Each structure stands twice: as C-alpha cells, then as structure tokens.
Structure 1
Amino acid sequence: MAGEVYSKLITSKNPKVMNASSRNGLKIDRIIIHHNATTNKNTAMNTWVQGGPANTSAHYEVTPTEIIGCVGEQYAAWHAGGTGGSDVPRIASPNQRSIGIENLNSTGGPGWKVDPKTVANCARLVADICKRYGIPLDRKHVLGHNEVTATACPGGLDVDEVVRLAKKGGTSVAKPTYYKAKGLYEVIAPQINGYRDIGFKQKRAVRFVKGTRFYAEPEKYGKITRFKTSMGYFSSNKAFVKFIKAID
C-alpha cells in the first residue's frame, strides 16, 4: 500500500502486501501485544501476506535487533478481532482502534519465551506510539492479546515488563549499532537481503547468506548507516555482520 505511516524506529519495511483494511474513522487508542508462536520471523510474517489462508497481520514485527514495518499505521491490521462464535472481543472494534505489535519468540512451546532484547525493542516502539497518538502509557491502553480475545498469546512475553521499560523512556532499550568503516565484512546472521535503494524500499533478488564475505562502503541514511556494495545496499547492523579488515 502506498504512503504507509510507520514509526521512525523501524529498521526496515517488509515489501510484501499484507492483510489490512480501513479503520472506519476510529481513533487509535490501544496497543495490543502479541508473540509469533515461532522462532522464525519470516514464517510469521509470511502468514500475513494478502490473499493467504491465515487472514491475520500486524503493524510491526519485533526481534532482538529489528523493528520491521508490515502494515501502515493508518490501516487496521488483522490481529485481534477474535475467531468468531463465542470468541467475542472484550473491547469494541479492536483492530480498527489499535496498533498490533508481534514479537519473535526465542524458544518454542510451551514456554514461548521472548528474548529480553526483543522485549526492550517492543517497549521502545510502544513508548514512541503512545507519544505520537497521545495514548496513556498504562496497562489499560497497552494490552496483551489474551486480554482482548480468547487466546494464549502473547505466550511468555510479560506485558507489564513492556510497559515498565517503555515508561523509562528507552534508557534500558537495546538500540542497534552500525559499522561506519569501509572494508571487508562477513555475514553472521542467517542471511541479509540486498536492496536497490538506501531506504530499503526496493528489494533485490540477491542476498548474502551466513559466512559470505563482501566489500562495502558505508553511506549515511538519516541517523543510521547502510552498506553500499556492487550488488546493492545492505544492512551494516553489527548484529548481522562482523568486520574483517579495512580497505583503502
């Protein structure tokens, strides 16, 4: 969808078209917290793609090192409407009045734990959303999915902790750091994707898998840095790549 509105905290935008609909004029006054119920972020996000069988989606996907925009805030994502029948949402029109944040699990079931860095990034995003929309930063307005509909979501994620960290204004939040030197680098994440543009809006088919070494030159993009290579633009996030040696 064109002109999507996201927090300035996002590290990237998922280029796929996700399930979404109109807010029908309702004001955003809630944030609803979810867990992925998987340790694979792409598995989670791929279920939200428009036309898929799941009929679900979320505005954001959060990991220990990323905040990924998936559905623009001006649209209703399909994350808390209930499953029908006796599963009636406890607040009216939950999708139309809320922003949904999904969080990657660090372990599988039954515990479905969430990495503390993911929780911290979620808190950082919650604080930003509350500030921009004038939403009170409290447990009446920041809810777990299970407080809205009949579900075990958000698993092992402690929403009280999210709110506590958000109230600290980000002082305990994990912020990504970036390499800024020209040189040879090696991928330490499972893979990093290439993009045609520094804003990561036009994804390329090329990707570097774990162990790939490549030469890169840093370029500033707002407050962060991207890598420019002969194959396109890539992330310079220190959680994804490591420095090997400098080049002239």
Structure 2
Amino acid sequence: MGMRAGETGGRSGTKGGSSGVTRRRALWIGGGAVAAGAAALAGRDELAHWWWRLPGHDKPRTPGAVDHPGAQWVEASPENYRRADRPADYEIDRVVVHVVQGSFATALEVFQDPDHEAAAHYVVRKDGHIAQMIRELDVAFHAGNRGYNERSVGIEHEGFVDRPESFTAAMYASSARLTAEICRRYGFPADREHIVGHVEVPGTDHTDPGPHWDWDRYLRLVRAELRKPVRPKRHKPARES
C-alpha cells in the first residue's frame, strides 16, 4: 500500500526526527529542479524553432521560386506541410525516397488535396521531369514520423513498388542529381544512413521504395554527381546609376 509523503516511518537525513528536509522531500525538490531545468531547455529549444515567426525574421519567399533548378513549381495544399525556416530551426540531414504507387499526375493531385494530410517536397516523373510542391524551408508531412519530417527532404517517384519497369534510367539520373544537390546544400554524406527509403523510417507502415529500387545504382549516381565540379554562379554586373 502506498503512503502519502510524510507518512514514512522516520525522516531520513535529520537527527532524532527533528524538523528539516526529509530525504523524500529532498529527492522531490531535486527531481522537481531537474524537471524544471529540462522543461526550460525544451522551451528554449522550441523557441529556437519558432523565433523566425516574429515580424521581420521570416525568410523572403518568392512565389513560384524553386530550390532545384529546372523543377516545375506545383504548390501542395498548406494542410499537407508546416511552414518553417529550415535549416535555421531544424537541421536537414536526410533524404527520404518514396514511390507514389501511381502516376506523376496522381501524386500532384493528392498532394494538392487538403484532406490527404501528406505531401513530399518533390515528385519525379519517369522521364526525369521534377515537380517541386513544398519548399525545402518547410516541413513536409511525408515520412509518418515527426522527427524525420523535420530533418528530411522527401522525394516521390512515379510508379509502383512491384513493377521494376517503373524505375527508368532517366528517373534515376534526375533523382540522383536532385539528391546530390540536397546533400551538397546541407552538408551531409551520400550514404545509406542519410539517404533512406520510406520503409526505413521508424514507426512507418509503408514498404516503398520496394525491392526493385536499385540502391547501389542510385548511390553510385548520386556520388558521381557530387564529384562533378560546382559551377560558380554568374553575377550580373550592377547597373550604373
């Protein structure tokens, strides 16, 4: 049978039962202090994730702008992602590879549906064409795991997990260029710890990209892209006033 605090057979840490702080009370105080400290740290961490919402801190967003050159901008429903300021508030160190279980057009349609409650940052078509639906700044609801959503970029691929013909050479090449660019942009390695399938996300019930996705081929392509020299961006000369 449990007893309320103070109903113990004696007061540890005091002499002769004299008034003072009991051992249980000391533990409670110490535990409370630890809990309070943890709560303060958690609160500070949460503030670090939300400071950018204050006026003047939100990063500028150009309508229709894309993170991947050549991508088509098709905005997902705002119900399927959360505005953020990554990597300032959440470090990005993962790419999660998905397969639509349908067509490119189907993916665009469902990610624009507010009732779907999920969307990826990118969708890759069989011919290599890429649509960007959510900015990398923002947290897409794609992985089924909040921590992974916050730290990753999600890439969907047109096709079906049980149809190896879904995964064309053009798709692999285009997706690999995209993933290499993401690895370079956020400074994480192109390996199987940082480039994962949806099936590998903790807690997920999904099986994509499935057994026909060629991981060895994909990683070779990503690493080959990373070995290519980065072309410096050309700066337009300033206009004379």
Q: TM-score, normalised by structure 1?
A: 0.57
| Corresponding position of 2:122 | 60
Q: Mapping of 1:158-173 within 5 angstroms?
A: 158-169=214-225
Q: Mapping of 1:1-248 within 5 angstroms?
A: 2-3=61-62, 6-15=66-75, 17-18=77-78, 19-23=80-84, 25-38=89-102, 40-52=103-115, 54-63=116-125, 64-81=127-144, 89=145, 93-105=147-159, 108=160, 110-111=162-163, 113-148=166-201, 149-155=204-210, 156-169=212-225
* Structure 2 Cα separation of the partners of residues 147 and 164 of structure 1: 20
Q: What is the DSSP-based 3-state SS (H/G/I as helix, E as strand, rest coil) of the residue aligned with 1:168?
A: helix
> 1:97-150 CA distances to partner (integer Å, 9 max, x unpaired)?
100000112xx5633531121011110100011101101111110001111123
* Structure 1 Cα separation of the partners of residues 161 and 218 of structure 2: 21
* Structure 2 Cα separation of the partners of residues 6 and 157 of structure 1: 27
Q: What is the DSSP-based 3-state SS (H/G/I as helix, E as strand, rest coil) of the residue aligned with 2:179?
A: helix
Query: How many matched pairs?
Result: 160
Q: Relative to structure 2, which stretch is displaced further, 117-126 or 1-10?
A: 1-10
Kindly indicate whether the alpha-carbon contact (under 8 Å) linking 2:122 and 2:130 is maintained by their aligned counterparts in 1: yes
Distance 1:41 1:11, change over 3 A: same
Q: Relative to structure 2, which stretch is displaced further, 27-36 or 3-12?
A: 3-12
Query: Which ranges in structure 2 are unaligned for 5 or more consecutive residues?
Result: 1-59, 229-233, 235-241
Distance 1:10 1:133, change over 3 A: same
* Structure 1 Cα separation of the partners of residues 188 and 133 of structure 2: 21
| Corresponding position of 1:200 | none
> 1:33-63 CA distances to partner (integer Å, 9 max, x unpaired)?
011111x2111121112522x2110000112
Distance 1:67 1:101, change over 3 A: same
Task: Using the aligned pairs only, state the percent identity.
Answer: 30
The Cα of 1:76 is off from its aligned counterpart by 0.7
* Structure 2 Cα separation of the partners of residues 130 and 57 of structure 1: 21
One-letter code aligned to 2:219:
V
Distance 1:65 1:170, change over 3 A: farther
Q: Relative to structure 2, which stretch is displaced further, 58-67 or 8-17?
A: 8-17
The answer to which structure has the higher helix fraction is 2
The Cα of 1:171 is off from its aligned counterpart by 8.9
Query: Which ranges in structure 1 are unaligned for 5 or more consecutive residues?
Result: 82-88, 173-221, 223-248
CA RMSD of aligned residues (A): 2.7
Q: What is the DSSP-based 3-state SS (H/G/I as helix, E as strand, rest coil) of the residue aligned with 2:156?
A: strand
Kindly indicate whether the alpha-carbon contact (under 8 Å) linking 1:23 and 1:96 is maintained by their aligned counterparts in 2: no
Q: TM-score, normalised by structure 2?
A: 0.59
Q: Which has the larger radius of gyration?
A: 2
Runs of 4+ in 1 over 4 A off after TM superposition: none
| Corresponding position of 2:34 | none
| Corresponding position of 2:36 | none
Q: What is the DSSP-based 3-state SS (H/G/I as helix, E as strand, rest coil) of the residue aligned with 2:222?
A: helix
One-letter code aligned to 1:166:
V
